[in-house]
Amino acid sequence: MRILWNPWRYEYIRRFSTGDEKSGECLFCRLKTAVDEEALILHRGRHSFIVLNAYPYNSGHVMVAPYRHVGSLEDLSDEELLEIMQLVKLSMRVIRKAFNPDGFNIGVNIGRVAGAGVPGHVHVHVVPRWVGDTNFMGVIAGAKTLPVSLQESYSMLRKALTEITGGSNGIHEGSSDS
């Protein structure tokens, strides 16, 4: 596989993604107390938060994670699980407004064998997809190209979030249009 250099991501990787031997905290546990703009956190709910993925499959790829460090969906309270699903729904609305994708992949990898990059802290991936977003680059060059930088993606998503929510938390319990 060829290497495509993207040095602008180093600061994020250094600050949030590398192991912290002293605290033993995982990525999501470190992110929950980080400064939103530095950590690429788009939204904070009562039980969970939305963060832009620093290693995206596509531009606009976000993750929804609970604040509580649990490894599987069945370990979440009903309130945590409900809010996570509400934030997945909000994420889809925000990504649609900012990037106008043709569809989404939404998934949870539970356990390292299932592909979880952070196996001890469950999280939901919300990945926008477009017709033709898989092309010859992956097959021939073994590389994925992303047309939008992380910072630009973050700005676009924050703007869309503000427009959608009007500054509220974006979750309207009992509402069919939240």
Residue positions annotated with a catalytic role: 123
- Which helix (H) or strand (E) segment is 125 a member of? strand 124-129
- What are the tokens at 35? 């400064």
Q: Helices 150-165 & 78-99, crossing angle to 10 degrees?
A: 110
Q: In the structure encoding, which two tokens stand for residue 101, read together?
A: 């994708």
Q: Report residue 66 as tokens.
A: 């609970």
Q: How many other C-beta atoms lie within 10 A of the C-beta of residue 123?
A: 22
One DSSP character per residue, 31-69 reads HTTS-HHHHTEEEE-SSEEEEE-SS-SSTT-EEEEESS-
Closest CA to 26 of 139, 146, 112: 112
CB 104 within 8 A of CB 92: yes
